[in-house]
Structure 1
Amino acid sequence: MLLTLTNGFLDAHTYIARGHVFANVRTANVIFSAIHVSDRQFSAALAHMWPLLAFIAGMLLASHIKSGRVEQVVPHSLRWTIAIQSVVLAAIGFVPAWVDHNFVTVPISFLAAVQIGLFRKIGDLAYLPVATTGNLMRFMESGYDSLVDKRAEARRPLVVYGTLILAFASGALVGAYATGAWGVHAIWLPAGFLAITLCLFLVEQREWMR
């Protein structure tokens, strides 16, 4: 849930503070790129393309991590992934607003892709931590199954996906307010969310090993 909250925050933050670019949402960047190309604003179109390329690179890294090859070299690679994400976001908070926004949106897009590649399930339920479309679709399907077809097993997915949607929207709302108040430094909040996620992850692993 904290990952989803973080990503809602990041999309609002980068849109407001970093050149109206969605760091996590691929569809929006494709649309904006096409609009700018049609207006012959090629530099603006390129600003939306760099995050897409970073996303591709991030997905490749996530696939490499899931293959187990990274684990042979770097034990507990999932822990390191979350830790690195937190550190990178904290560092980005020191980047002034006048610096080229690509220096911020590109690494965030890369990290978002790694998240999608590595964190796709809550228990046995598939989900996306960086967007709401898929989660909203599954929420409505679960709602129909639960309320119309009276299927008891659909209640848990209904609650889970509803919570995910609420977390993403809440993250975007907090991100908008925080960015308006603190500017580029607001990104330190999601860095903290990821640090908390890492701590919870470590506690859960220790409990499981007992």
Structure 2
Amino acid sequence: MFIKVKDKSHIRNSIFIRSSQMSDSIFLGIVLALAGGFMDAYSYISRGQVFSNGQTGNLLLFGVNLASGNFYVSFHYIVPVIAFASGIALSEVIHIVAYKRNKKFLSDTSKDSDNVCNKSVETSGRRPSRLMPSFSMLSFHWRQVSILIEAVIIILVAFVPVGENQLANSLTSLACGIQVESFRRIHNRNIATAMCVGNMRTAVESLCSYYYHREPSVKKTFLIYSSAIFFFIVGAILGNFCINLFSERAMLVCGMLLLIGFLIMFIDLEKAE
């Protein structure tokens, strides 16, 4: 089931709405960037200065401590990396399973439609208009399943005791891996909502290109990537604020952000056109 947006004439070309599907929209991108910044701030401030999103830093510290003979400390940094990779794998499994189930459903529905048409020809001599497969059973997009699982994981992190930082960081990195793999595009542009290095490179590149060529599409690219960076920072600020108020329970706020993202994906803009 989807919510339709009827009147979009005044915002048709805005980066804040126009998208091929809601999982590709700037609205959802903003929510995910807020959550990404929040999670990184939480894991670093509250859970032993480990990065839940940026695994480059964790791999670096793993290598440094391994070389220094600090094997226990190095283990502390490699576990989130493994959890992050597991989140990516889990997201891909969800995608593959959803694709196969949907393909089977459409195939079965098409066969049922052919059978109805053939029976109609036999009884009345007329072939009815072809029955189209119903998508009522496919009410959830696979990315909605991913973000819902991510939200549940993040909410669970809020109830992990303070002393169990390894578990909390592993769960957070698992959730980040799901997000990074499931949501990789905004307005048909490859983008990361849980880290900033690639976004910064593309934003600066687009700004320089726009300065010389003045192409509207390049300007739009700059605004999209800059927005992702900006809201990631806002998410980190929000995370710090909530940590001061709620301590380890602050992740409940991040879980609410992800649930909002889940609900946003029920808005179907394309069907309104």
SS of residue matched to 1:148 = helix
Per the alignment, in what secondary structure is the counterpart of residue 178 of structure 2? helix
Asked if the contact 2:31–2:257 (Cα under 8 Å) also holds between the matched residues in 1, the reply is yes
**Distance (Å, rounded) in 2 between the aligned partners of 1:149 and 1:196:** 38
TM-score, normalised with respect to structure 1: 0.91
For the pair 1:80 / 2:160, whether they are aligned, the reply is no
Counterpart for residue 162 of structure 1? 226
For residues 100-115 of structure 1, what are the structure 2 equivalents within 5 Å? 101-115=165-179
Question: 1 or 2, which has the higher helix percentage?
Answer: 1
Q: Is the 8 A contact 2:154 2:175 kept in 1?
A: no
Is 1:189 the counterpart of 2:253? The answer is yes
Q: Do the aligned partners of 2:41 and 2:236 also contact (CA within 8 Å) in 1?
A: yes
Aligned match of 1:117: 181
Overall identity of the aligned pairs, in %: 22
Q: 1:83 to 1:66 in 2, by over 3 A?
A: closer
Distance 2:172 2:99 in 1: 23
The aligned length equals 206
Q: Which has the larger radius of gyration?
A: 2
Distance 1:190 1:29 in 2: 22
Counterparts of 1:98 and 1:38 in 2: how far apart (Å)? 27
Counterpart of 1:185, as a letter, is: R
TM-score under structure 2 normalisation? 0.71
| 1:43 to partner: Cα distance | 1.1
Q: How much is the aligned-residue C-alpha RMSD, in angstroms?
A: 1.8
Q: Among 77, 80, 97, which residue is 2:162 paired with? A: 97
Residues 1:56 and 2:120 are matched in the alignment? no
Please state if 1:132 is matched with 2:196. yes
Q: How does 1:26-45 map to 2 (within 5 A)?
A: 26-45=55-74
Q: Which residue of 2 aligns with 1:12?
A: 41
Structure 1 gap segments, 5+ residues each: none
CA distance in 1, matches of 2:85, 2:57: 16
- Which is worse superposed, 190-199 or 170-179? 170-179
1:179 aligns with 2:243: yes
What is the CA–CA distance in structure 1 between the aligned matches of 2:246 and 2:91, rounded to whole Å? 32
Instruction: Give the corresponding residue for 1:151.
Output: 215
CA distance in 1, matches of 2:241, 2:43: 13
Conserved? CA contact 2:37–2:235, under 8 Å: yes
